[in-house]
């Protein structure tokens, strides 16, 4: 992968590599879509799948926050279910529920029936969207992403979102061999998916393991880590930045710090300075509670300054939220937060 | 409060005080109800409110797991919404949803309208249930409980269960004075509720702050801790054991360790031995993932032994799950786990 020459703002990439930057770079998970009026107009006419399958439209949605907010990175507008279609999973996104899987995984046969992903054949529109964005539209890096195997498996086994993930864990404990087979197949899919995104032009990839915080450290190392390590090993030769993000995952930070990845995403439950003191040496991305975007400006500003001071005790800091932007967030506030972060002067700089 | 003379098994109380015990005491959150066939027969005939309002029936349900599993403590069968009725909140428990509040709190007037709890007038059936249990039925300690102010407030403001608690946090950030007023009123209610339970005969009280793990440490100290400290100060003269339990709350353990309480409940995300190394000196209650109750016995047994070794690095250990028993748990397995815990011999004993 070569970084497209159009990237004039490299701040995000520099921070991700642990380098000193002239300002704190900022992007927001779920910055594309949901809270933006331009997006809502599009969404009134097209379904999520219709948007993601039309490269011009999807590229427009992805670029919106860069143009409107002035963030330092774009993130591909895409649902984490996208690659599952390619391997033969019948998944729909239902309003007010989320992803719904028609035939949840119950047996080894169901796992054997999963196909392998051929990005050119199965999801050419993703690659075309990336090419459009990186060749023409963006002057900031584009971040691609994939759901991680545990989170994808939880949807496949539960059949949709779940508060407890009990079926997933029961399957894991009751059918360990089948579980590892499923993790391995999903890891292979994620590798192909992320390599294709990198080949098409993204400068960074983020593994979203949204539900991994529900798994204990012991279970993580036994049931989950092998798949993650396989993915990261397959990407090790790439110069693309690798970001790992989980929610409620404070107990996994040390494990991630030992893995071949560049950036650890943290949620708001733990102080980033405390993580540094406990030996976290990777770049850190985080960690304001997205609920603060609904706070009055003086309260929000105080929290922003606290988060910024907490994050900048060492080089390699990227401002983000601890989880995605809520649809309720005001775009004017997101823009104001972006400017505030970029104007912040660290006590240590 | 005097401990009723009928308590012949004091193991739970000894461990809660940090004393050495002849076996590891065990109880399960949500042990009463849900997974038990005897309970399901009753639930087919009566609603939750009908059960909790009939002291004989409610005492029977509370005592069932002591008789069936041989656990070392009973926990009052009761919904956390119970005291809210007494202060004038219209709350119903709807199947498949949970608590639903008819008029969620939106303004200062809504908070001013909340009454104060008079247990004898408002919830005499709770006190009668406790008296029946402690005077006649139990030879183990009875644990009473209350939801903590943040968790109660989240129901009152959201109107029911919420994945994000965005309305709650928005209210907290936007209306700090009203928020503190609400926390203070709920703290007063919790104090009256727990004191009445202690007076009626419970040997321990647990504060369930189910959703507190969603709040950062900074926000906890600013918005939540004052109410918790008020509750604990009001109970400080009582000899009843005080237990604090949250989920996803690893980041709050140090705060709780400084408070006048006896036992910290931990979920499965962090090792209990690691918490000891970080300076947690209170008794610890936890912390097996309840999903393990669905694992095959060899997998479950291995995890039990790991949890037991992890918990018994210091005196003052009570075995429990990190969250409540799932309805899917097999009662025979719960009984087997109870016996296994009680037969466990620590390497350090």
Identify which of A173, A251, A295 has the shortest CB distance to residue B294. Answer: A173
Percentage of residues in chain B with pLDDT exceeding 70? 98
> Per-residue pLDDT tens for B87-132?
999 998 888 888 999 999 999 999 999 999 999 999 999 999 999 9
C-beta atoms of A217 and B270 within 8 A: yes
**What pLDDT score was predicted for residue B6?**
83
**What pLDDT score was predicted for residue A1?**
46
- Mean pLDDT value across residues A255-275: 97
**What pLDDT score was predicted for residue B196?**
98
> Per-residue pLDDT tens for B50-85?
999 999 999 999 999 999 999 999 999 998 999 998
**What pLDDT score was predicted for residue B5?**
54
Residue A249 predicted with pLDDT over 90? yes
Which residues in chain B are contacts of A299 at CB distance < 8 A? 173-174, 176
- Mean pLDDT value across residues B217-236: 97
User: Chain A residue with minimal CA distance to B164?
Assistant: A291
User: Chain B residue with minimal CA distance to A288?
Assistant: B216
Grade residue A2 by pLDDT with cuts at 50, 70 and 90: very low
B285 among annotated binding-site residues: no
Please give the helix or strand (H or E) that residue B259 lies within, else none. Answer: none
For A164, residues 6+ apart whose C-beta sits below 8 A from its C-beta are B291, B326
Grade residue A97 by pLDDT with cuts at 50, 70 and 90: confident
Q: Does residue A320 lie in a domain region?
A: yes
Which residues in chain B are contacts of A164 at CB distance < 8 A? 291, 326
Which residues in chain B are contacts of A271 at CB distance < 8 A? 217
Q: Which 3 state secondary structure label does DSSP give B257?
A: helix
User: Chain A residue with minimal CA distance to B166?
Assistant: A291
C-beta atoms of A291 and B251 within 8 A: no
C-beta atoms of A269 and B217 within 8 A: yes
Residue B3 predicted with pLDDT over 80? no
**What pLDDT score was predicted for residue A5?**
54
C-beta atoms of B299 and A176 within 8 A: yes
Q: Give pTM, 2 decimals.
A: 0.94
> Per-residue pLDDT tens for B255-309?
999 999 999 999 999 999 999 999 999 999 999 999 999 999 999 999 999 999 9
Which residues in chain B are contacts of A303 at CB distance < 8 A? 218
Across chain B, mean pLDDT equals 94
Which residues in chain B are contacts of A169 at CB distance < 8 A? 289, 291-292, 294
C-beta atoms of B219 and A289 within 8 A: yes
Residue B192 predicted with pLDDT over 80? yes
**Domain at A26, CATH number:** 3.20.20.210
Residue A113 predicted with pLDDT over 50? yes
Grade residue A93 by pLDDT with cuts at 50, 70 and 90: confident
C-beta atoms of B174 and A296 within 8 A: yes
Residue B322 predicted with pLDDT over 50? yes
**What pLDDT score was predicted for residue B347?**
59
Percentage of residues in chain A with pLDDT exceeding 70? 98
Residue A81 predicted with pLDDT over 50? yes
**What pLDDT score was predicted for residue B300?**
98
Q: Does residue B1 lie in a domain region?
A: no
The tokens describing B134, both together, are: 């402690």
For A296, residues 6+ apart whose C-beta sits below 8 A from its C-beta are B173, B174
Q: Does residue A4 lie in a domain region?
A: no
User: Chain A residue with minimal CA distance to B274?
Assistant: A251
Distance (Å, whole) CA B9 – CA B6:
9
Residue B212 predicted with pLDDT over 80? yes
B145 among annotated binding-site residues: no
Q: Which 3 state secondary structure label does DSSP give B319?
A: strand
Q: Which 3 state secondary structure label does DSSP give B139?
A: coil
Q: Decide: A160 and A99 in contact? Cβ < 8 Å.
A: yes
| Radius of gyration over every alpha carbon of chain B, rounded to an integer in angstroms | 19
Which residues in chain A are contacts of B251 at CB distance < 8 A? 250, 269-270
B32 among annotated binding-site residues: yes
Least confident of A91-105, B225-239, B316-330: A91-105
Q: How far, in Å, are A1, A215, A264, B223, B322 from residue A268 at the CA level?
A: 33, 18, 13, 15, 21
Interchain CB contacts (distance < 8 Å): A and B: 89
Alpha carbon distance, N-terminus to C-terminus of chain A: 32
ipTM score: 0.92
C-beta atoms of B164 and A326 within 8 A: yes
Q: Does residue A349 lie in a domain region?
A: no
Q: Which 3 state secondary structure label does DSSP give B204?
A: strand
User: Chain B residue with minimal CA distance to A274?
Assistant: B251
Q: Which residues pair with residue B76 across a beta bridge? A: none
A17 among annotated binding-site residues: no
Domain limits at A58? 11-343
Residues of B with CB under 8 A from a CB of A: 163-166, 169-170, 173-174, 176, 213, 216-219, 248, 250-251, 268-271, 289, 291-292, 294-296, 299-300, 303, 306, 326, 328
Grade residue B1 by pLDDT with cuts at 50, 70 and 90: very low
| Radius of gyration over every alpha carbon of chain A, rounded to an integer in angstroms | 19
> Per-residue pLDDT tens for A37-75?
999 999 999 988 899 999 999 999 999 999 999 999 999
Q: Does residue B302 lie in a domain region?
A: yes
Q: Shortest Cα distance from A291 to chain B (angstroms)?
A: 6
Number of domains composing chain B: 1
Residue among A291, A240, A247 at smallest CA distance from A265: A247
Q: Shortest Cα distance from B170 to chain A (angstroms)?
A: 6
Grade residue B34 by pLDDT with cuts at 50, 70 and 90: confident
A122 among annotated binding-site residues: no
C-beta atoms of B294 and A174 within 8 A: yes
Across chain A, mean pLDDT equals 94
Q: Shortest Cα distance from A252 to chain B (angstroms)?
A: 9
> Per-residue pLDDT tens for B139-171?
999 999 999 999 999 999 999 999 899 999 999
Percentage of residues in chain B with pLDDT exceeding 90? 90
**What pLDDT score was predicted for residue B348?**
53
């Amino acid at each position: 992968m070569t970084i497209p020459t159009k990237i004039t703002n490299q701040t995000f990439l520099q921070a991700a590599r642990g380098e000193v930057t002239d300002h704190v770079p900022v992007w927001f998970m779920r910055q594309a879509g949901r809270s933006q009026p331009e997006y809502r107009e599009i969404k009134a006419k097209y379904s999520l799948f219709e948007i993601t399958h039309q490269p011009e439209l999807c590229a427009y949605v992805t670029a919106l926050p860069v143009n409107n907010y002035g963030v330092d990175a774009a993130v591909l507008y895409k649902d984490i279910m996208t690659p599952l279609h390619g391997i033969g999973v019948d998944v729909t996104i239902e309003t007010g529920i989320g992803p719904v899987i028609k035939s949840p995984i119950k047996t080894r046969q169901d796992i054997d029936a999963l196909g392998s992903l051929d990005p050119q054949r199965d999801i050419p529109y993703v690659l075309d969207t990336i090419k459009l964005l990186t060749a023409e539209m963006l002057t900031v890096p584009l971040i691609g992403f994939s759901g991680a195997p545990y989170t994808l498996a939880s949807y496949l086994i539960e059949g949709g979102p779940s508060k407890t993930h009990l079926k997933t864990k029961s399957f894991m404990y009751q059918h360990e061999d089948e579980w590892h087979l499923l993790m391995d197949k999903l890891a292979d899919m994620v590798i192909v998916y992320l390599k294709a995104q990198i080949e098409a032009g993204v400068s960074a990839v983020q593994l979203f393991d949204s539900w991994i915080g529900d798994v204990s450290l012991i279970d993580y190392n036994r049931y989950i880590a092998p798949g993650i390590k396989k993915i990261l090993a397959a990407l090790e030769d790439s110069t693309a930045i690798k970001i790992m993000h989980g929610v409620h995952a404070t107990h996994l930070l040390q494990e991630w710090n030992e893995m071949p990845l560049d950036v650890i995403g943290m949620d708001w439950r733990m102080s980033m300075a405390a993580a540094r003191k406990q030996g976290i040496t990777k770049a850190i991305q985080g960690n304001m509670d997205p609920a603060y975007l609904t706070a009055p400006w003086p309260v929000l500003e105080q929290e922003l300054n606290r988060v910024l001071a907490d994050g900048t005790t060492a080089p390699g800091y990227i401002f983000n939220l601890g989880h995605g932007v809520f649809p309720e967030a005001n775009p004017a506030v997101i823009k104001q937060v972006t400017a505030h972060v970029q104007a912040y002067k660290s006590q240590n700089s």
